[in-house]
A and B are shown apart, each in its own frame.
Chain A
């Protein structure tokens, strides 16, 4: 039988037993640490912003030390801005991981794939573990592989919408054709959607809004952790075939007369 304990998410040689990447936005800081624990997350995303007057409390105080920090480049509209933000984030001393976000559109927050490829290439050359947020396009995913990405992070639906796997068919193509981990990011709104992504063969799921805006943050974090583990196990086990007509489960002989 499959042993999920021997199953790791590998990103540029870094191994993780958890396949749930938790976003830290929209949480009250007091709930964040518990949510990370309930989510069994080992990677947590953060953003970078100007310091505010008098803001001595910092989110890093609420994140356990064994967690891998994944800074995003939110706010970047092009590759150069993403590189600038990534360098500043690395200067804060939380490692080399970066989630590239290059976004010009403010209504749907869709990533600019062209700028994302450019940023990925520059950051990979600077030694970053680059995790690019992208619109699920196979040609772009191939360019990201060539640019040195550690994975690809296609969106399921626009950020924060909780609409789920609207891009399902295109993510499936990436899973089939790309050798890097495919991590579905953005739009995942429920544990069942996360489970489906994992069953399809996604290597991990990232979520934030679905948990942060739920009625019970800790319970929802746990529900996601369980669903992602279940989906992964189902994928490893191999789903049974789908049939258009009924196939009897019970023997079709030896009926009582």
Chain B
């Protein structure tokens, strides 16, 4: 299973962060990615998701 932002995204096992962002319509410039508790550097967004990964993809929003 692959969990991205709390959802089962197992269809993306073996696909890269780039591919995920592209398909979901996310702008990579504004994303930070954490895989299994470790930050994924921006120049590694071609890394592939593995079965069992837990991923958080975050961006800035308004806040005080």
Contacts and interface: CB of A to CB of B under 8 A. Distances in A.
Interface of A: 23-27, 29, 32, 45-51, 53-56, 58-60, 69, 71-72, 74, 84, 87-89, 91-94, 159-160, 186, 206, 208-209
A47 B60 contact: yes
A25 B63 contact: yes
Q: Is the interface of B mostly helix, strand, loop or mixed?
A: mixed
Interface in B13-44: 24-27, 29-32, 34, 37, 39, 41-42
A23 B61 contact: no
B60 A60 contact: yes
Contact of A32 (B25, B32, B41, B62): B62
A92 B60 contact: yes
B53 interface: no
B59 A92 contact: yes
A23 B24 contact: no
B59 A74 contact: no
A50 B64 contact: no
22 contacts: A24-B63, A32-B62, A45-B63, A46-B63, A48-B63, A49-B58, A49-B59, A50-B56, A50-B57, A51-B58, A51-B59, A53-B24, A55-B26, A56-B25, A58-B27, A60-B60, A72-B64, A87-B39, A92-B30, A92-B32, A92-B59, A92-B60
Given A87-B39, A159-B64, A48 B26 contact: no
A81 to B, nearest CB: 12
A46 B60 contact: yes
A93 to B, nearest CB: 8
Contact of A209 (B6, B25, B57, B64): B64
A53 B9 CA distance: 13
A51 B64 contact: no
Contacts of A206: 64
B5 interface: yes
B25 A45 contact: no
Contact of B62 (A25, A50, A84, A159): A25
Contacts of A94: 60
Contacts of B62: 23-27, 29, 32, 46-47, 59
Given A58-B30, A88-B34, A92-B32, A48 B61 contact: yes
A92 B6 CA distance: 21
A55 B58 CA distance: 11
Nearest to B42: A91
Nearest to B27: A56
Contacts of A48: 32, 58-61, 63
Contacts of A56: 25-27
Given A72-B63, A186-B64, 20 more contacts: A23-B64, A24-B63, A25-B62, A27-B62, A32-B62, A45-B64, A47-B60, A47-B62, A48-B61, A48-B63, A49-B59, A56-B26, A58-B30, A58-B60, A84-B37, A87-B39, A88-B58, A92-B60, A94-B60, A160-B64
